[in-house]
Amino acid sequence: MPSELLEIPLAAVVCWVNFVTIDLFFGLPREGGVSGATAIAQEVEAGGGDLKGGTMMGNIVSSPDASAGTLLASCGVAVAGVPGGLFAALLVYIGNRICYDPGYAGTTGAVTATFIVYAFTLAGFSATSFIVGMVVAILTIQGLSHRHASRLLGRLWKWRT
């Protein structure tokens, strides 16, 4: 069983890769899919960031995306195992419909995170490490530097297209 000091950084990396990959796959940098996403993107760009990365950040803020799905699934697995993670996915799906979100990035993120977190628990990790790891992963995109995070996301988007 790895110590929490090792679990949390590894969980953060796994969660970050999961949610960013899914959000890129679903095309969150393409355009503002929900109300408010375009306005956030324009503000990020005005602050020296990348418009496409800002659009992804705006979509993340405005509707349940893979980061929210990953966080909620981690909580669900911590509370009730795989059924808890799948219940979290259902809640994210409902949240997407409430926001009139045309995509399924959040639901997909919750489902993939459920099985990723569960697999790591079989290897001795605690699901709570993934909760903390996901918060760290979200902070790297939304909390530390909008300019730099949007540029990184914009670069990743260019590689995808």
pLDDT single digits (tens) 123-149: 999 999 999 999 999 999 888 899 999
- d(C-alpha 43, C-alpha 147), whole Å: 10
| Residue 14, token pair as written in the block | 């796994």
160 or 156: whose pLDDT is higher? 156
- Note the pLDDT tens digit of each residue in 7-66: 999 999 999 999 999 989 988 888 877 778 899 999 999 999 999 999 999 888 877 788
Q: Give DSSP secondary structure letters for 39-69.
A: HHHHHHHHTT--HHHHHHHHHHHHS--HHHH
Put simply, whether the predicted model's pTM sits higher than 0.85 gets the answer yes
